[in-house]
Amino acid sequence: MRNGKMALVTGAGGFIGHHLVKYLVGHGYVVRGADLKYPEYEDTKADEFLIADLRDYNQCLRVTKNIDEVYHLAADMGGIGYISAFHAEITINNTLINAHTLQAAQYHEVKRFLFSSSACVYPQHLQRNPDVVPLREEDAFPADPEEGYGLEKLYMEKPLPQRLRSAWHL
């Protein structure tokens, strides 16, 4: 039975995204998926799937229209080799994806916005030991994230100053 809520999953073509789509559909959501590519692992369960480049604000406006909740997983992320070699490109792409998606969601008065971060935000020295200990949010500071993807994720999740929150009505 559908609960009447319309959810958008950005990055719905990825591994986590396609699983989240299935979960939300199973919990009664009408789901729109959006990604640069169709899911690689299995056919999408989304009610609607849009191919969209979320670096483009107009495409963000298109995918967020008539949405109640955004689950924002989209990112330019191609594995550790890629994120270690292309810091500037990844930072620019992900900043555009995040800022445009957030701004379009605000424009369309989306009620909830979930931003997905990454373990790459945590200081690198905490992740080098093979005897891994669970990381906590407070472990992110003092900061020493992976220099491209991790740094971009960290500054995007930092709370906005009140003057910007007020301007964006967040």
pLDDT tens for each residue of 51-65: 999 999 999 999 999
Given a cut of 50, whether residue 168 has pLDDT beyond it is no
Least confident of 13-17, 30-34, 162-166: 162-166
- Residues of 77-115 as b/e, b for ≥16 C-beta within 10 angstroms? beeeeebeebbeebbebbebbbebbbebbeebebeebee
What is the domain partition of the chain in residue ranges?
A: 6-118+161-167
pLDDT at 149: 63
Instruction: Identify the DSSP state of 112.
Output: E
Residues of the chain above pLDDT 70, percent: 81
The total of other beta-carbon atoms located within 10 Å of residue 62's CB is: 13
Hey, which bits of 80-136 come out as E strands?
112-115
Concerning whether 41 is annotated as a catalytic residue, the answer is no
**Which amino acid is it at 114?**
L
Tokens found for residue 22: 């299935």
The residues, ordered by sequence, that sit 6+ positions from 59 with a Cβ below 8 Å of its Cβ are 52, 53
Encode pLDDT of 107-141 as tens digits.
999 999 988 876 666 777 777 778 878 888 787 77
- With cut-offs at 50, 70 and 90, classify the pLDDT of residue 25: very high
More confident residue, 41 or 49: 49
Block residue for tokens 């995007």? 156
- Which CATH architecture best describes the domain 6-118+161-167? 3-Layer(aba) Sandwich (3.40)
The one catalytic residue among 41, 71, 149, 155: 149
